[in-house]
Amino acid sequence: MYALRQVGQSTKGRIPHVAVVGAGISGLRCSDVLARAGVKVTLFEARDRIGGRVHQVESGGYLVDMGPNWIHGTKGNPITEIAERTGTKVMEPEEEEALVDSNGTRRSNAEAVELSGKVWEMLVGAFKYSDEHSATIDPHTSLAEYFREQLSSMDIDEKRRQDILHEAQMWGPFVGDAVEKQSLKFFFLEECIEGENVFVASTYKDILKEAGRTATDPAKVELRLETEIVHYDTTGRIAKENTDGTETGTRVDGGSKVEAGQETTTVTSTQDEDEDEDGHARKVTVTASTGERLSFDQVVVTCPLGWLKRYHTSAFTPALPPRLCAAIENINYGRLEKLYVTFPTAFWLSPNGDDHQHQRDEKSELDKAISTLDANIKVKPAGDSSPSYNSNPAPDAQSASNYPFFTHFHDPAYIPHPIDEAWNQSVASLARLPAPHAHPTLLFYMYGACATHVVRSVQDLTPYSAEYNAVLTAFAQPFYSRLPNYSASDPSCTPTSLLMTQWQADRFAGNGSYCNFQVGLERGDEDIEVMRAGVVVHSSDGIKPPTHTGLWLAGEHTAPFIALGTTTGAWWSGEGVARRICAAYGLDVPGYAAMDTVTAGQLDGQAVEREPEPRKKDLDAYKPDAANMAGLAI
């Protein structure tokens, strides 16, 4: 990180007024840390709720997450600790998955395990190759090209080769775009924290409530959600920290304080000097869409990367530094969406433990298939244990149903779609969740062009309307009709509720899901670091140290490398900026260990791991899905 002249000397020991824009996980954590240090915090949110992309709604009588479903890596993860503290139930799904091939035929369980294992073996190799050779890899080389090259040296027939390539498309739902677009050069940035990836069975509801505890306490944070304004103060000038007690953060140009619902569209900073004419640190003024403005000592912009990509050339005066603009433009914003399809009962599950199409393979046969993987790929590190915080294993082979949690539908030849677009689907059976959270719902993870197609098909329709339901049923039926026990004449096989996320149509979400790293990217790691540093101005003479303007960026796109694109990354990024602001003002951050799980160095992008800290590339040795399941993060 830069050694910055962040504020003038006169501000040391002074309590600043900081604006945090965006009440998602990053903004909530940033506000929490600042408030605990005694900073005056105003938190702006354009929506009428906190949480940002962490959001739950009811569908078919069941509460579901529209945003994250997963916690990525359980060791040293603050989201894991919040889940434990709040009694949130999580589940580590079994590694077995069902597989339906491109012709719509379900393959045997043993074949599904073997194909999945082979792809994960190649993914592990790709992570290591990317980490060790990133500097020399052609920026235009994709992960798909790496797979094809690996397969070319194997003694396999063409059918087998095509099966593996189709199975490899399962990486699309992980990052929100096609495997053909995944950068091999920066594939290492998709690795994540050590430990299991667990599904949040009881939703993120209680995690969000805990994360927002400080922000929703009016004694600690001034939270500006949509409210009816009935009085305006027309003072008409920026308030300095004068002897009469006037404070920063009051109105400018006769306007009232900015309220939520008045989306913040313009941020202005003065970059010439560290101090204003009164000898105090420069201030940053935010302007609402109504034209109203407010002035603060520091402003933290936690808007999604997609928002920055759309507005970074128009929302800042003076213009952002060219290198920061380039970083924002370079990092891609993914297109993951989710579709919840709820039925009267989980027809694909059989009460006698038989799915009527495939007998479950014996455990020894599965172990034999899994053992074909690289010896370094293990379910978990030696001596590690499964999460103990209400973590429920998936039902075993003798439970009410044998059908796996996940089904991977290969790119379907039986559904008309553009030949250059993969429409493969990863579908989770929420009937396999632990009681009392199980419900007869199929969760479709779709990505890229397919997700864009479905969003555009329903974005102008009223949710749950007949037309809306018909469009979504027409999309999903060719997939779920290939599950066990399906019968078009059986009412239990007819959906009672369908709900589609529409993040690509949501401008407050940045019209997408989260960051990913695509072919053509040349300095992806540096781009992340540049955004993480915030708005920095370098002296023209090259002698003076860089100066920080008081404008900061936070969010999953500025996270430590090992948590990019995840809820954990958003949390750490908000904490990191808050700590740097507090350090600049000489303020200590009190707290408790469970909430402060990362060191200052780790917040600046180093590996997030305690006792000892392995390199990122070593993490993938522990289990096949130790790769960043960020694609399932929203």
Consecutive H or E run containing 626 = none
When pLDDT is averaged across residues 179-197 and rounded to a whole number, the result is 94
Structure tokens at 107: 């393959």
> What's the CA gap between 630 and 516, in Å, rounded?
9
Please check the confidence at residue 406 and state whether its pLDDT lies above 90.
yes
Domain membership of residue 4 (yes or no) is no
Whether 369 shows a pLDDT value over 60: the answer reads: no
Per the omega criterion (within 30 degrees of 0), is the bond before 590 cis?
Answer: no
Spatial CB neighbours of 78, under 8 Å, sequence gap ≥ 6 = 568, 571, 572, 594, 595, 597, 598
- Residue 627 is given by DSSP the state B
What is the per-residue pLDDT across 143-154, written as a single tens digit (0 to 9) for each? 999 999 999 999
| Closest by Cα among 484, 479, 480 to 403 | 484
Are 75 and 609 in contact, with CB atoms under 8 Å apart?
A: yes
Helix-strand-coil percent breakdown of the chain, rounded to 5?
30, 20, 50
Q: Tell me what pLDDT residue 274 has.
A: 44
H or E element: which one contains 444?
strand 441-447
Sign for the pseudo-dihedral over CA of 364, 369, 372, 377: negative
Burial (CB < 10 A; 0-12, 13-18, 19+), residue 543, is exposed
Pair 449, 543 in one domain: no
User: Over the stretch 152-174, which tens digit does the pLDDT of each residue have?
Assistant: 999 999 999 999 999 999 999 99
Specify the 3-state DSSP secondary structure of 188: helix
Q: Is 463 exposed, middle or buried (0-12, 13-18, 19+ CB in 10 A)?
A: middle
CA distance linking residue 305 with residue 524, whole number of Å: 14
Across the chain, mean pLDDT equals 81
Is position 622 within any domain? no
Would the pLDDT of 608 be above 60?
Answer: no
Residue 596 predicted with pLDDT over 70: no
Residues 356 and 303 in one domain: no
Last-in-domain residue among 458, 484, 509? 509
Of 469, 484, 509, which one is at a domain's C-terminal end? 509
CB neighbours of residue 530 within 10 Å:
23
Helix axes 158-168, 109-133, angle to 10 degrees: 70
- Are 339 and 324 contained in the same domain? no
Residue 495: its pLDDT value, please? 99
Per residue in 425-481, pLDDT (tens digit) is 999 999 999 999 999 999 999 999 999 999 999 999 999 999 999 999 999 999 999
Cα separations (Å) of 79 from 24, 167, 287, 380, 438? 14, 30, 33, 19, 22
Residue whose C-alpha is closest to residue 516's, from 119, 134, 143: 143
pLDDT at 248 over 90: no
State whether 387 and 497 are in the same domain: yes
The arithmetic mean of pLDDT across residues 268-281, rounded, is 47
Sign of CA dihedral 284, 287, 288, 289: negative
- DSSP string for residues in 251-303: EETTPPPP-BTS-EEEEEE--S-SB-TTSSBP-EEEEETTS-EEEESEEEE--
CA distance 602 to 614: 12
C-alpha radius of gyration, the chain, whole number: 25
Share of the chain above pLDDT 90, in %: 64
> Do 429 and 520 share a domain, yes or no?
no
- Residue 632 is assigned to a structural domain of this protein: no
Phi, psi of 340 (to 5 degrees): -100, 125
CATH of the domain at 394: 3.90.660.10
- Whether residue 279 is predicted with pLDDT greater than 90 in this model: the reply is no
Give one DSSP letter per residue of 43-87, joined into a string.
Answer: EE-SSSSSBTT--EEEETTEEEESS--EEE--TT-HHHHHHHHHT
What is the average per-residue pLDDT within 25-29?
98
- The answer to whether 515 touches 503, Cβ cutoff 8 Å, is no
Query: 236 falls in which pLDDT band (50, 70, 90)?
Result: very low
Same domain, 313 and 377: no
> In what helix (H) or strand (E) does residue 406 lie, and over which residues does it extend?
strand 406-409
Task: Between 609 and 120, name the one with better pLDDT.
Answer: 120
What's 289's domain CATH number?
A: 3.50.50.60
Residues whose CB is less than 8 angstroms from the CB of residue 89 and which lie 6 or more positions away in sequence, other chains included: 200, 201, 202, 390, 391, 392, 434, 437
The SS3 assignment for 96 reads coil
Q: Say how far apart CA 587 and CA 39 lie, in whole Å.
A: 9
Question: Does the structure show a pLDDT above 60 at 326?
Answer: yes
pLDDT bracket for residue 259 (50, 70, 90) = very low
380 and 458 both lie in a single domain: yes
Q: 10 Å Cβ neighbour count for 90? A: 24
234 vs 403: which has the higher pLDDT: 403
Whether residue 179 has pLDDT greater than 80: yes
All residues at 6 or more sequence positions from 479 whose CB lies less than 8 Å from its CB, including other chains: 100, 409, 412, 425, 427, 444
Tell me if 236 is assigned to some domain: no
Q: Do residue 248 and residue 117 come from a single domain?
A: no
At residue 262, the pLDDT reads 55
500 and 533 assigned to the same domain: no
The size of the chain, in residues, is: 634
> Is the pLDDT assigned to residue 3 strictly greater than 60?
no
Is the pLDDT at 386 greater than 70? The verdict is no
Q: Is residue 211 part of a domain?
A: no
The verdict on 176 and 318 lying in the same domain is no
Dump pLDDT digits (tens) for 570-593: 999 999 999 999 999 999 988 643
- What is the predicted pLDDT for the residue at 273? 40
The total domain count for the chain is 2
Q: How much is the pTM?
A: 0.84
Does 66 fall in a domain? yes
For residue 125, which of 634, 617, 628, 629 has the smallest C-alpha distance? Answer: 617
Out of 193-202, 401-410, 617-626, which region has the weakest mean confidence (pLDDT)?
617-626
Are 108 and 127 found together in one domain?
A: yes
Domain range enclosing 497: 56-206+335-509
pLDDT at 90 over 50: yes
Tokens of 553: 């960026």
Instruction: Give Cβ neighbours of residue 601 (< 8 Å, ≥ 6 apart).
Output: none
* CA within 13 Å, CB half, 477: 12
- Which pLDDT value is given to residue 240? 37
Task: Examine the fold and report which residue of 509, 544, 571 is the final residue of a domain before the chain moves on.
Answer: 509
- The answer as to whether 114 is a domain residue is yes
Query: Which pLDDT score is estimated for 38?
Result: 97
Amino acid identity, residue 607?
A
Torsion region of 331: left, alpha or beta (phi above 0 gives left; psi -120 to 50 gives alpha) = beta
Using 50, 70 and 90 to split pLDDT, how confident is the model at 60?
Answer: very high
Confidence of residue 327 (pLDDT cuts 50, 70, 90): very high
Count of other CB atoms within 10 angstroms of residue 612: 5
The verdict on residue 629 lying in a domain is: no
Percent of the residues in the chain that have a pLDDT greater than 70, as a whole number: 74
- Interatomic CA distance for residues 446 and 454, integer angstroms: 9
State both tokens at 485. 């026990």
- Whether residue 508 has pLDDT greater than 90: yes
Mean pLDDT calculated for residue range 592-602: 41
Indicate whether 65 and 192 sit together in one domain: yes
